[in-house]
Structure 1
Amino acid sequence: GLLPLSLEAIEQAIRLNGAAVDNNLRAFELGRWAVLHPQDAAAVITPNVVELPKSLEDRIAFRVAHLTDYQGTRLVRRYTKLLDRIEDRGVKEAAALGYHKLLSYKDEYEVARLLLKSREKAKAEFEGDFGMKFHLAPPMLTGKGPDGRPKKREFGSWLERPLRMLTKLKRLRGTPFDPFGYSAERKMERALIKQYEADMAEVQPKLDAGTRDAVIALAELPLQIRGFGPVKEANEAKAAKRREELLAVIRAGGAPMAKAAE
């Protein structure tokens, strides 16, 4: 380099300093590599920024693409059919988010798809032999922990083949042939979709300046139903209470939002 010191002398100085020796030696090696291979170094440190959709139309298109991967065009038609009936842009934006959240509940088929997608991304970043372990909590295999939540266990790369088979069976989702569709959580998720569609149909004729805030809050309410298992059940119970409050406001013709939360 430009310093009149040998490589061995610099490394010895780092060791004698005694502070984070391994990390500093590694940083020194990386610095030398970056000088010798500036283009490769630039590619490594350049942030991989994903630009999120900004306009309402872009946000809807983004979710249409996701629903296509999630299930297919039939679910997309269901999604866009409801949105096409909404003229108010604020309500439509809230519904675009809330309705999508309900339609794309994360079941076994979606977990399999996302795990395989993550695997492909990780494999592209590494060279040589590649293996991946999965940490999952199948209710039928792991049981529940002291906190009432399903316990996670580790699965090896052998799970990839069953996961691929599972993704091909996603068309069974929501049908009588869906083996996972009979659990209490899946039944709740399907019921929430139908309830949401009925609510949106009811409140649209009541939309005016006095009810608009409550309608928007109702349309985006599904975003509050997060998590899995007991966590999701608890959030759904809170959302159900809030739903009744908002519907009462809308049916009353637009009572103050503060009263709806009392």
Structure 2
Amino acid sequence: MDLVDAAGVDGELARVLRIRVPDLAAYQNLALAGRYLDAVLRVARAEDAAGAAGNRLAVAVARNLYKLMAYKDEYEVARLHLDPELARRVEEQFGPGSRVAYMLHPPLLRAVGVDRKIALGRTARPAFRALRAMRRLRGTPLDPFGATAQRRAERRLVTGYVAVVNELVAGLDAGAAGDGRHESAVRIAELPDMIRGYEDVKTANIARYEESLRELLAAWRAERSPSRV
């Protein structure tokens, strides 16, 4: 992709970015993809200045910031269900003209106490197309789904992670690769991988993530490289 090629990165970092930058552009828009790329490149430049080879911290941020940004909301579920590749795989496995049912659990139903998924057929596709077109409202005041506790938590995770990454970058002094701080920074940047699942499972994993983040950040802040002693 042009944005990644223009960044001048290579190796594993370039491979990760070539997948995730265009996916974020499709997920929402080029502006989101650009903010993501800028955040990762700031980390890569800080690693280079600190003498850390391999961009391990930048790769960790590239994977985990993407994970937090590309959360599966109503717009993304609709986009994925309309993916032509999904239709191709269904036809390949079950034959042309196969009936398709989409198993969904919309937040509105959860709000009124319906605790099970419902099956929708192809008649759901017009609604999916409308939702896909609305994805640029994600995170704005006009987002009809943005006020739920789950969506607020997901946006808070992105903001909090970017702040943590900025702190890690600020703490990577020249020579940090040799005093253990770089390794600690990589471990902290990889923590969002703990956040898995949906609804209550995801909420519990967010709590675990935030507890681990507090512990590792406290240790990071307490560390002193030999040059500071």
Does the alignment reach a TM-score above 0.5? yes
Deviates more, 1:176-185 or 1:246-255: 246-255
2-structure distance, mates of 1:110, 1:235: 21
| Higher radius of gyration, 1 or 2 | 1
The answer as to whether partners of 1:225 and 1:239 remain within 8 angstroms in 2 is yes
Query: What secondary structure sits across from 2:119 in the alignment?
Result: strand
Match of 1:110 among 54, 76, 87: 76
* 236-245 or 121-130, larger mean C-alpha shift: 121-130
Same amino acid, percent of matched pairs: 37
Q: After superposition, what is the alpha-carbon deviation per residue over 1:24-57, rounded to whole angstroms, capped at 9, x for unaligned?
A: xxxxxxxxxxxxxxxxxxxxxxxxxxxxxx8221
Equivalent runs, 1:86-235 vs 2, <5 Å: 86-87=43-44, 88=47, 89-117=55-83, 119-122=86-89, 124-125=91-92, 128-142=96-110, 150-207=115-172, 208=176, 209-235=179-205
Look up the equivalent residue of 2:88 and give its one-letter code.
K
Q: 1:128 to 1:191 in 2, by over 3 A?
A: closer
Q: Which amino acid aligns with 1:75?
A: L
Contact 2:12 2:59 in 1 (8 A): no
Q: Deviations over 1:231-257 (max 9, x none)?
A: 1110000000000011111101269xx
User: Is the Cα contact below 8 Å between 2:27 and 2:70 reproduced in 1?
Assistant: yes
Q: Per the alignment, do residues 122 and 144 of structure 1 end up closer, same or farther by CA in structure 2, a change over 3 Å counting?
A: farther
Structure 1 residues 254 and 223, CA, compared in 2 at 3 Å: closer, same or farther? farther
TM-score with structure 1 setting the length? 0.71
Deviations 1:45-81 (A, max 9, x none): xxxxxxxxx8221111101121111111101111011
Match of 2:80, SS state, is helix
RCO (CA 8 Å, sep 6+): is it higher in 1 or 2?
Answer: 2
Shift of 1:202: 1.2
Q: What's the offset of the Cα at 1:121?
A: 2.2
Give the match's secondary structure for 2:43: coil
Using the TM superposition, give the Cα deviation of residue 119 of structure 1 relative to its aligned residue in structure 2, in angstroms. 4.3
Cα shift at 1:124: 4.9
Q: Counterpart amino acid of 2:99?
A: G
Decide whether the 8 Å contact of 1:174 with 1:181 is kept in 2: yes
Corresponding residue for residue 80 of structure 1? 37
Segments of 4+ moved more than 4 angstroms: 142-145
Runs of at least 5 residues in structure 2 that lack an aligned partner in the other structure: 1-10, 48-54
Deviation at residue 131 of structure 1 after TM alignment: 2.9
- Deviation of residue 122 (structure 1)? 3.5
Counterpart CA distance in 1 for 2:41 and 2:119 is: 44
Does the 8 A contact of 1:211 with 1:249 survive in 2? Answer: no
Structure 1 residues 196 and 129, CA gap change in structure 2 (3 angstroms): same
Q: CA deviation at 1:163?
A: 0.6
TM-score by length of 2: 0.80
Take 1:58 and 1:176, find their aligned partners in 2: how far apart are those partners? 35
Counterpart of 1:76, as a letter, is A
What does residue 14 of structure 2 align with?
57
CA shift digits 1:192-225 (9 cap, x unpaired): 1111111111121212233222211111111111
Task: Say whether the 8 Å CA contact 2:91–2:98 is kept in structure 1.
Answer: no
Paired residues of 1:218 and 1:243 also in contact (CA < 8 A): yes
Taking the TM superposition and a 5 Å limit, the aligned residue runs for 1:242-261 are: 242-253=212-223
Structure holding more helix per residue? 2
Aligned length: 198
Q: CA RMSD in A?
A: 2.0
Q: Indicate the larger mover: 152-161 or 133-142.
A: 133-142
Is this contact kept in 2: 1:185–1:229, CA < 8 A? yes
